[in-house]
Amino acid sequence: NAGVMQNPRHLVRRRGQEARLRCSPMKGHSHVYWYRQLPEEGLKFMVYLQKENIIDESGMPKERFSAEFPKEGPSILRIQQVVRGDSAAYFCASSPASGAMYEQYFGPGTRLTVT
Amino acid sequence: GDSVTQMEGPVTLSEEAFLTINCTYTATGYPSLFWYVQYPGEGLQLLLKATKADDKGSNKGFEATYRKETTSFHLEKGSVQVSDSAVYFCALTVTGTASKLTFGTGTRLQVTL
């Protein structure tokens, strides 16, 4: 059973470009979480999605950031008009359901560098 | 809001030394508590968890006890190995918050021969 897949692993964008990060959850998992890890900091929750629905986006910046989890295909985190402060590691996690008894399995992350 | 406070690192120990990494929390509801480990260049892996007061989570020689009276969940290991070198994150989730995790800032552990 493959783990959570994220691609690309490394992404370099110039200021003003768009960044698109992909996350394929583990087989059988329909719940996806996105977290951001700034340098030398812990992970911060961004958004929680189920198939075709955003359940909680309380951690998402109000502008330039969006996320989706379509019926078919991976979850996408999109950052428009990137700025240097967006440079971070973005981690996706998946679980089979919601609740503390269900472990969140993390992907290897996408490291975004904005130049 | 919910928050997790961890001791700052890095923590440097010799192999076979005793490890303690302190973690305290504040939560708006009844939390479940977790320790995650992150090896260089990799994502986080769940190390252990506890879901109610006085529970002890354990895995790979690591232990942590959920102490509600002191709002703590300290990580311990009796004898560390070089392969334990990693960053350790304490985290919590509160029922009714869609299971989103709140993390501490992480503690880097370096174990030397």
Chain A residues inside the 8 Å CB shell of B100: 33, 45, 48, 56, 59
d(CA B35, nearest CA chain A) in Å: 12
Cβ–Cβ < 8 Å for B77, B24: no
Mean of per-residue pLDDT scores for chain B: 93
Report the C-alpha gap between A71 and A15 in whole angstroms: 31
Lowest mean per-residue pLDDT among A43-52, A57-66, B35-44: B35-44
pLDDT tens digits along B101-112? 999 999 999 999
A54 touches chain B (CB under 8 A): no
Band of residue B10 on the pLDDT scale cut at 50, 70, 90? very high
pLDDT tens digits along A49-89? 998 899 999 999 999 999 999 999 999 999 999 999 999 99
A106 touches chain B (CB under 8 A): yes
d(CA A106, nearest CA chain B) in Å: 6
**More confident: A1 or B110:** B110
Cβ–Cβ pairs < 8 A, chains A and B: 64
d(CA A17, nearest CA chain B) in Å: 25
> B5, exposed or middle or buried, with CB in 10 Å at 0-12, 13-18, 19+?
middle
